[in-house]
Amino acid sequence: MRDGPAIEVRDLRKSYGDHDVLKGLDLEVRRGTMLALLGPNGAGKTTAVRILSTLLDFDSGVAKVAGYDVAAEGRAVRRAIGLTGQQTAVDGLLTGRENLVMMGKLQRLRGNAPRRAAELLDQFDLRDAADRQVKTYSGGMRRRLDLAISLLTSPSVLFLDEPTTGLDPRSRTQVWATVRELLSGGVTVLLTTQYLEEADQLADRVAVVDGGHVVAEGTPAELKHQVGAERLVLTFGGSDVVAVAADVLAEDSPNREDRTVSVPVAHAKDVRRILGRLADVGIEPDDLTVDKPTLDDVFLTLTGTHLGGK
């Protein structure tokens, strides 16, 4: 791996005929960190991953992975990366161990392949199923095997294209735990996801992608900040009370709805102050919650549509 960022993308463009998939994508991923590409279907996430993993040509722009030029030094890039695509790339007729050993041998691990396979089977909790044909595996087990295969050569950059799509919650949590472990081991990860929670949970930085370019980038916290502070949501018994409450809290720029009044809050003491004021006029809310902005809010604010195009 050469010096510089682990992944560097500048003004990357790709179109199929009239259809522009990437319209000047810019990304930079520092070593040992994870960037999540968050966006709906058709945003260009998978296209970007396929280009960066040398599976697909691009029209113009600069794409470097591990310091190597994707267009000119494809082989060096392939040596440096691991890829877990949307489809699980495993051989169902072979056992888990055979899959790993085969993929290891294809990447010149030679005599080390069986040892490395055994290590990964342990690490991914597949030891008991190691010698069963993969077609008998559950979706989660296949995913884990797939992930294990992409780690055979200890790549410095790992692409995870929607690695938990279609998994049950338990398997998803398992995959997350594994990815966290990898990050602590110094691997650079580019993850694509449609799940806010996934980006929020795992990524150091999030790039929100829509229509083939990045519409916002930052840490999950920064992005949430763009949308605004947390809000205290107060629920009242009747609309007359709501009106009074909104009146009392006028200088907090309240947002009034049918049964609720919400106001932005920055600190715990704001909550106390607001409840105090209401108590002064003899009003007690029936219920109160603090709403944190979600990445979906971020997405809605930035693009005007919900994630997944809803």
Binding stretches for other proteins (CB under 8 A): 16, 46-47, 50, 53-57, 75, 78-79, 81, 83, 85-91, 93-94, 98, 102-103, 105-112, 116, 133, 149, 153-154
Provide, rounded to whole angstroms, the least separation between the CB of residue 213 and other proteins. 19
Q: Which structure tokens are listed for 26?
A: 């810019």
Provide, rounded to whole angstroms, the least separation between the CB of residue 94 and other proteins. 6
Nearer CB in complex with other proteins: 150/193: 150
Q: Which structure tokens are listed for 217?
A: 């980038």
Provide, rounded to whole angstroms, the least separation between the CB of residue 54 and other proteins. 7
Provide, rounded to whole angstroms, the least separation between the CB of residue 295 and other proteins. 26
Nearer CB in complex with other proteins: 106/243: 106
Nearer CB in complex with other proteins: 81/242: 81
Give Cα 112 to chain centroid, integer Å.
Answer: 33
3-class DSSP assignment, residue 95 = strand
Question: DSSP per residue over 215-268, as a string?
Answer: EEEE-HHHHHHHH--EEEEEE-SSHHHHHHHHHHTGGG--EE-SSEEEEEESSH
Whats the size of the chain, residue-wise?
A: 310
Provide, rounded to whole angstroms, the least separation between the CB of residue 53 and other proteins. 5
Nearer CB in complex with other proteins: 121/216: 121
Nearer CB in complex with other proteins: 154/305: 154
| Burial letters 58-97, b for 16+ CB under 10 A, else e | beebebbbbbbebeebeebbbbbbbbbbeebebeeeebbb
